Structure 1
Amino acid sequence: MTARKLANRRVFGVIGGLGPLAGADVLFKLIQASPAHSDAEHFDVLFEQRPFRNASPSRAATTERKLYIFDMIRDFEKRGVTSVLLPCFLSHTFIDELQENTSVQIVDMLDALRCHVARSFPSARRVGVLTSDYIRDEGLFERYFRAPEFEVLHPRQRSSADMDPVTEAVYGEAGIKSGNLGGRPVELLREACQDLIAQGADVILPGMTEIGLVLSQIAALDVPIVDSNLVYAQYASVGQSFSHNNRAFKVGVVGGVGPAATVDFMQKLVRSTPATRDQEHIKLLVEQNPQIPDRTENLLGDGQDPTVSLYATCKKLEAGEVDIIAIPCNTAHAFVERIQPYLNVPIVNMLTVSVEYLKLAFPDLREVGLLATTGTIRSGVYKKAFEARGLRQIVPSDDLQMRVMNAIYGECGVKAGFTTGECLDDIRAAVDELSGRGVEVILLGCTELPLLLPEAKIYSGGGRAVRLVDPTEILARRCVAYARGEMGVVRA
C-alpha cells in the first residue's frame, strides 16, 4: 500500500492476540460494516495478532497487556493507521493511559455501546452487563452509564466460593476461550441473562468480546441483548467522533542554542505554569543539539549554514508528536521563515510575540533599544518586526556593539559560563549608552542576556530607570497559554 493511498483513506488497525477468536470476530464485522459495493471500496485494515501469554483478567496481567498494546499501537502508527480498534473490554479499562501517549485515535468500545443504547433503546435505564469480575470491580461500565440516568446491573454470584458465571463461561476449562462455542458456556450465559432480567434489566450488553461468538445460541430473551462486537465495528465504520484524544499538549524545544539559555527557558516555562502538582505541568520534549552551527557566524558571512541542522532538530521534535516548537534563540529566528513551510508543526516566533508584548505593555512606546548579537541586528529580523508595529529600533554604537558581542562570546562571556565581571560591565555599558540616548525600554534580543540582566528594571549610570524586556520569558508564557488552551495555535 502506497503512502499516498494511506494518506487519503481511513486505515484501521485491529489489535489481535488479546482474545484471538474475539479479535477475528471484530475484524469480520468491521469488514461487513464497510459501506462498499466492490472489493476495492472496502476499508484499509491492518490486523496483527501476536501470541499474548497471559490472557487472564487479573491485575498481574494488566501491565503486560498495557505494554503489549502500546507497542502494537506505535507499530500501527508507523504503518499509517489512523484508527485503532481494541477488541478487548479489559483493555478499555486503561484506554485513557494509552490515548494520552499516542496520537492515533483509539476507537472507544464503551462509547460505542453508550451511543447505541441511547439511540436504539432511548427508554432503557437499567443496563444489564455480562462481564468478568475484574471489569465489574473496575467499574468500567459505570464510568459510561452513569447514575442517575442509568443503573448498571451485574449477575448475582451464586456463592462466594463459585467463580463468577460469566467469567467461567469465557475463561473456564471448557470456556469459550478454549474453543467451546456451545454447551456449558452458553448455559451459564443464559442463566446470567435470566438473572439480569429478574433484576429488571431493560437491555443486556456483553462486556466480553468472546460472548459475541455465541450470541446466536442464546435463545430468545424477554429483553434485547446487544452484539457488542457488531456495534463496535459499525461505530468505527461510520466515522463518528469516537472518544476525544486525551493526549496531553506537548511543547518541543530546540535546545543547545545555547545550552544555558535552554535551561533558562525551561525554568521560566515551569515557573509560568500555574500548577499545584507535578501532573499539572506541561509536557516537554527537548532536543538538545549544541552542534547546530553558530547562527551569528553564518549571518556575518563566514560561518556554516545552520538551516539543515535547525530543520533536522525540528523534524525530530515533530516525530516526537509535539504540538508546537519553541526555539529559545533570537538569532535562530533569522532562519525560521526558511524551514517553517516544510514543517507540520508551528514554531512559536519569539520575535513576533515579544513585539506584541511591547505594544500591550507600553502602548505609548515609539522607540525600542535592542541588545542582540551582531548577526541578529544585521539580519534585520527584529527591525522588520518592530516596524510592522510602528516601532523604531535603536541599537548600540559600533564600539558598544563590540562590547555586547564580547559579553556574549568573549573568553569571559556568558556563553563561556560567566555572569559577573567583564561581561556584566560590557553589557551595562551598552545599557548606559542607550539610556543616554533617551531609550527607556530595552529588549534583550539574545537569550543569554537575561542571565546577565535578570531584573525587569535597572538604573543606568546616569540614574535613569530603564525597563528590560526578556523575550525568553515572553516565549515561555506564550507556550504555557497555548498548552492550557488559553490561545488557539495557528497550525503550520
Structure 2
Amino acid sequence: MSRGQSLRLGIVGGLGALAGADLLYRIVKETPVRGEGDHRELVFEQRPMREPTSPKDPGYSPVHRKFYVFDTLSHMEREGCDLALLPCFVTHTFLGELADELGIRLISMTEAIREAVQRLTPRPSRIGVVTTPFVRRTGLFDGLFGDDIRVEYPSDMAEAAVMQAIYGENGLKAGNLGVSILPPLNDALDELHGRGCQVFVPGMTEIPLLLDQLTVPQGMSVLNTAEVYARHALKVTGAEQRRRFKVGVVGGVGPAATVDFMAKLVAVTEARRDQDHIKVLVEQNPQIPDRTENLVGDGVDPTVALYSTCKKLERGGADIIAIPCNTAHAYLDRIQRHLGIPIISILTAATDHIRLVAPDIRRVGVLATNGTIRSGLYQQALQTAGLDHILPDAPHQALVMESIYGPRGVKAGHVEGLCKTQIDQAIAHLVACGAEAVILGCTELPLIVKESRDQLGVLPVDPTQVLARKCVQLAQG
C-alpha cells in the first residue's frame, strides 16, 4: 500500500453467502469512525461456487473450493487489495497453501479466535466446537488453544442433526433463519455443556447469525467468531505484509543465457531441501527484438517488449527483476522509472564484484556485443567504480561478435570449436593490452569461457554469476 492511499480490504464471498454478507456488515459496524471517510475501502467478491460434495459429506474434498478461493484472491490482488478475509473454516484448513502463492495478505480467522480465547478470564479448561465433519477431521481446532484446553465436539448423532439444520433443503444455507433450525443446535450446546465445556466456539461461519436466538446453557459463554474476526481484521490492517520473496526474471534474451542464469541462481543458494530455494517467476519471451540490432542499426526498438515483460513480472508478485542480458541494460533507465519494483543492474553487480574480490585491480577488459560497447554501459559502470576500461580493437571485436552471432556461435547453440577459439584470441588480446580482469559482458559468453583466473592469466568476471548471487542476497535478507 502506497503512502497516502487508503487501505483496500477484500472479502471473499460465496463460501457461505450469508456469512460473507454478515462479515461485511460487521467490518463496517466495528470500524471506529468520525466520518464516512474513515471507513476501510472494501472489495466484496462473490461468484457461484459449485462443489460435487458438501463439507458435511464423508468423502468431501476441498479441491474445487481451493481453485475458487485462489482465483478470487488473485483477482483481488490484481485489483490492488492489500489484505483479504475468508469467512470460511474449510478454507482455513488450507490457508498456508494459498499464502505461499499469493502476494495479498490473508487474515487468519483461527488466529483471531485463538487470541480471543487467550484473553478470556477465567481461562477455560474445555471448549465446545460445532463444525463440519471435514473441519473436525482436519484437526483445525485441536491444539489451537494450547495443551491446557481440551476441545470437545458433539456426538455423531448431534453433529448429523446440526448438519441437516445447516445444509438441509430448508436449512440455514438455504436462507432459513427461523426457529425450526434451532433445536439441533440447542441440543448440541446442551451436550457440550454436559461434558464440562465452559465456552462455545462456533466452527461454522453461519452459526453467529443465530446466536441471539440460541438457548445457551447457564454457565456457558459464547464466542462470537464473526465479531472476533472483524475486530481482528481491523486491528491487523496496518501490519506489515510478510510473504516469500520472489525474483522475477526477464527470460529469452537469450534463451540459453536464461537457463544458465537459473542454474546459477540455484547453485549459489544455500539449501538443504527444495523449500529452502527462492521463489522465481520467469517470463520467457524470445520475441523481444534484438537489442544490438537496434542500438547499432535499424532494428526494432525492444523497449516496449522489455517493459511489457517487466510489468508482467511486477503483476505476478515479483519483488525484484533480473535481466540476464547485458545489452538490455541500455534500456533500463527508461523502463525503471515506470516500475514499482527495482531492476537489479548486472553492470553494477559486476563492478561491485571486482572491487570486492580483487581490490588491487584497476584495468578491466570488456567483451560484449557491439550494442553494449557502443552504448558505453560498462565503460560508465567501470568509471563510476573507479576502474579503467580496455576494449578490443576492431578486428578482435569482430571475433567477439562472430563468436556470439555467427553460424557457429553461441546463439546458434555452439560452445566449443570456432567460437571458443575466437573468444580465447580476444581475451589474449585484452591481456596483452594490460587487462587484469575481463568482464564477459554478454550473458552467452560464460557458456564458452569456463577457465579460472590461473588458467587464463586474468580474472574472468561472469556477470550472470554475480547477478544470481546478488539476487540471492536480496532474497535472503
TM-score greater than 0.5 by the shorter chain:
yes
**Hey, what's the Cα distance between the residues in 2 that align with 1:226 and 1:78?**
35
Give the corresponding residue for 1:469.
461
Q: Which amino acid aligns with 1:236?
A: A
Q: What corresponds to 1:257 in structure 2?
A: 253
Distance 1:379 1:173 in 2: 72
Residues 64 and 467 of structure 1, relative CA distance in 2, 3 Å threshold: same
What secondary structure, in the 3-state scheme, does the structure 1 residue paired with 2:11 have?
Answer: strand
Alpha carbons 1:300, 1:375 under 8 Å: kept: yes
- Give the distance between the partners of 1:396 and 1:24, measured in 2 at CA: 70
**419-428 vs 122-131, which deviates more?**
122-131
CA distance, structure 2, for counterparts of residue 156 and residue 418 of structure 1: 70
Matched residues in 2 for 1:441 and 1:143: separation? Answer: 60
Matched, 1:285 2:261: no
**One-letter amino acid matched to 1:382:** Y
Aligned counterpart, 1:413:
409
Match of 2:8 in 1: 11
SS in 1 for 2:141: helix
Q: Are residues 132 and 153 of structure 1, via their aligned partners in 2, closer, same or farther at CA, if it must alter by over 3 Å?
A: same
For the pair 1:24 / 2:44, whether they are aligned, the reply is no
- Pairwise CA distance, 1:447: 0.6
Q: Which amino acid aligns with 1:384?
A: Q
Deviation at 1:352, TM superposition (A): 0.8
Displacement after TM superposition at 1:364 (Å) = 1.9
Match of 2:85 in 1: 85
Judging changes above 3 Å, is the alpha-carbon distance between structure 1 residues 173 and 204 closer, same or farther for their aligned structure 2 residues? same
The one-letter code sitting in structure 2 at the alignment partner of 1:106 is: L
The residue number in structure 1 matching 2:76 is: 76
Structure 2 unmatched runs, 5+: none
Aligned-pair CA distance for 1:209:
0.9
Go from structure 1 to structure 2 and tell me whether the alpha carbon gap of 1:7 and 1:401 turns closer, same or farther (over 3 Å shift).
same
SS at match of 1:189: helix
Match of residue 329, structure 1, among 318, 325, 328: 325
3-state SS in 2 of match to 1:393 = strand
Structure 2: which amino acid aligns with 1:56? Answer: S
Which stretch shifts more, 360-369 or 8-17?
A: 8-17
280-289 or 329-338: bigger deviation: 280-289
**Residue by residue, what CA displacement relative to the aligned partner does 1:205-256 show, whole Å, maximum 9, x if unpaired?**
111111101111223531321111111122223444679644x332211122
- 1:104 is aligned to 104
Which of 305, 313, 320 matches 2:301? 305
Measured after TM superposition, the shift of residue 293 of structure 1 is 2.6
Per-residue CA shift, 1:151-178, capped at 9, x if unaligned? Answer: 241234166xx64555454335664334
CA distance in 2, matches of 1:414, 1:383: 24
Matching residue of 1:47: 44
Show the counterpart of 2:356.
360
Structure 1 residue 151 and structure 2 residue 175: aligned?
Answer: no
- Give the match's secondary structure for 1:130: strand
Matched position secondary structure for 1:81: coil
Distance in structure 1 (CA, Å) of the matches to 2:303 and 2:109: 46
**How many residues matched?**
472
Kept in 2: contact 1:153–1:199 (CA 8 A): no
Residues 120 and 316 (structure 1), Cα distance of their counterparts in 2 relative to 1, 3 Å cut: same
Is it true that 1:211 corresponds to 2:203 in the alignment?
no
Q: Distance in 2 between matches of 1:459 and 1:37?
A: 74
Note if contact 1:252-1:317 (Cα within 8 Å) is conserved in structure 2: yes
Give the alignment partner of residue 381 of structure 2, picking from 374, 382, 385. Answer: 385
Report if aligned partners of 2:295, 2:371 keep a CA contact under 8 Å in 1. yes
**Deviation of residue 396 (structure 1)?**
2.1
TM-superposed CA distance for 1:371, in Å, is: 1.4
Give the equivalent residue in structure 2 for 1:490. Answer: none
Contact 1:99 1:245 in 2 (8 A): no
Partner of 1:34: 31
Letter in 2 for 1:230: E
C-alpha distance in 1 between matches for 2:344 and 2:143: 38
Compute the TM-score of the two structures, normalised by the length of structure 2: 0.89
8 Å CA contact 1:153–1:196 kept in 2: the answer is no
For 2:186 and 2:98, the matched residues in 1 are separated by 34
Q: For the aligned residues, what is the CA RMSD?
A: 2.8
The gaps in structure 1 that reach 5 residues or longer are 488-492
Secondary structure at the aligned position of 2:220 is classed as: coil
Residue 480 of structure 1: aligned partner:
472
The answer to whether the 8 Å contact 2:126/2:152 transfers is no
CA contact (8 A) 1:294 1:304 kept: yes
CA gap of 1:253–1:168, structure 2 versus 1, over 3 A, is same
2:142 and 2:151 in contact (8 A); partners too: no
Q: Which consecutive aligned stretches of 4+ in structure 1 deviate over 6 angstroms post-superposition? A: none
Distance of 2:425 and 2:122 partners within structure 1: 76
AA of the residue aligned to 2:262: M
Q: CA deviation at 1:409?
A: 2.0
1:470-491 Cα shifts (integer Å, max 9, x gaps): 11111112222333x2x3xxxx
Cα shift at 1:358: 1.3
Aligned-residue sequence identity (percent) comes to: 47
SS in structure 2 of the partner of residue 342 of structure 1: coil
Question: Which residue does the alignment assign to 2:392?
Answer: 396
Other-structure match for 2:140: 140
Query: Which range is displaced more, 423-432 or 273-282?
Result: 273-282
1:8 aligned counterpart, secondary structure: coil
> Separation in 1 of the partners of 2:78 and 2:12?
15
Q: Is the 8 A contact 1:131 1:208 kept in 2?
A: yes
Instruction: Please say if residues 155 and 193 of structure 1, whose CA atoms lie closer than 8 Å, have aligned partners that are also in contact.
Output: no
Cα drift, residue 184 of structure 1: 5.9
CA distance in 1: counterparts of 2:60 and 2:239, whole angstroms: 29
What is the TM-score of this pair, normalised by structure 1? 0.87
Letter aligned with residue 417 of structure 1:
G
- Rate the CA distance shift 1:47–1:303 in 2: closer, same or farther, 3 A: closer
- The answer (yes or no) to whether the contact 1:155–1:195 under 8 Å persists in 2 is no
Q: What is the distance in 1 between the residues matched to 2:254 and 2:143?
A: 48
- Name the structure 1 match of 2:177: 181
